[in-house]
Amino acid sequence: MPEVMDAIYYNEGKIRPVVAAVKSLTSAISIGTGGAVGREGPIIQIGASFGSTIGQIIHMARWQRITLVAAGAGGIFSPSLYKGATLGGVFGALVDAVHPVAGATPGTFAIVGMAAMVGGGTGVAMTAVTMIFEVTRDYGIVMPMILAVAFSIGVRRVLSRENIYSSSWWSADTSSPRRCTPTCSWCATPAK
């Protein structure tokens, strides 16, 4: 993940096309021989390099190529949605068993859980709420989602200042935007 973020930040979203081939081969060999390759690292790099390569081949504008790199590096949203739905549904089933509330079905809790997990993990509160609302078109679920996402982000901030995207970047031994110069056009934060 840090390599992908560096490519976006420092290299206009350009990742060498060979990265996808090498990462695919080394990951296959490692997995095939019983080795561990990490949680999402290889698939993020492979997807991001495919997105970058396509963007370079068809000569996309920098912002379009960066968007393709980010889309290729996906792999956070789907697992977050699944985990959130599962945890929310289980919590909803427990609430329903202990004290049933009209309109608060395990399915409703699952939907709220999806937004809470995405929002808490990624730190993008409005995206989480808007994305789930667009899928359900249920105005009655917006306020519970907002409250759950706010709570989820609050808990995550107590446990860790960083979100799932930034935690690996800031801990990596690379120069990051937090170490930018004050004149950097991408970063308004002065160097520390």
Q: At residue 24, does pLDDT exceed 80?
A: no
Of the segments 68-72, 87-91, 101-105, 171-175, which one has the largest average pLDDT value? 87-91
Q: At residue 78, does pLDDT exceed 50?
A: yes
Burial class of residue 189, CB neighbours in 10 A (0-12, 13-18, 19+): exposed
pTM surpassing 0.75? no
- pLDDT-derived band at 109 (thresholds 50, 70, 90) equals very high
Q: Which residue has the tokens 């950097």?
A: 184
- Over residues 39-44, the mean pLDDT reads 65
As a whole number of angstroms, the distance between CA 103 and CA 142 comes to: 14
As a whole number of angstroms, the distance between CA 162 and CA 148 comes to: 19
Q: At residue 183, does pLDDT exceed 70?
A: no
- pLDDT-derived band at 170 (thresholds 50, 70, 90) equals low
Q: To the nearest whole number, what is the mean pLDDT of the chain? A: 77
Q: What is the pLDDT of residue 191?
A: 45
How is the chain classified by DSSP, letter by letter? Answer: -HHHHHHHHHSTT---THHHHHHHHHHHHHHHTT----SSHHHHHHHHHHHHHHHHHTT--HHHHHHHHHHHT--SHHHHHHHHHHHHHHHHHHHHHHS--TT--HHHHHHHHHHHHHHHHH--HHHHHHHHHHHH--GGGHHHHHHHHHHHHHHHHHH-SS-HHHHHHHHSSS--GGG--TT-SS--SPP-
pLDDT digits (tens, 9 = 90+) for 11-20: 777 777 787 7
- Over residues 101-108, the mean pLDDT reads 85
Q: What is the pLDDT of residue 147?
A: 96
Could you state, in order of their start, the residue ranges of all structural domains in the chain?
Answer: 2-75, 77-159
Q: At residue 192, does pLDDT exceed 70?
A: no
Q: What is the pLDDT of residue 190?
A: 45
Tokens of 6: 């560096």
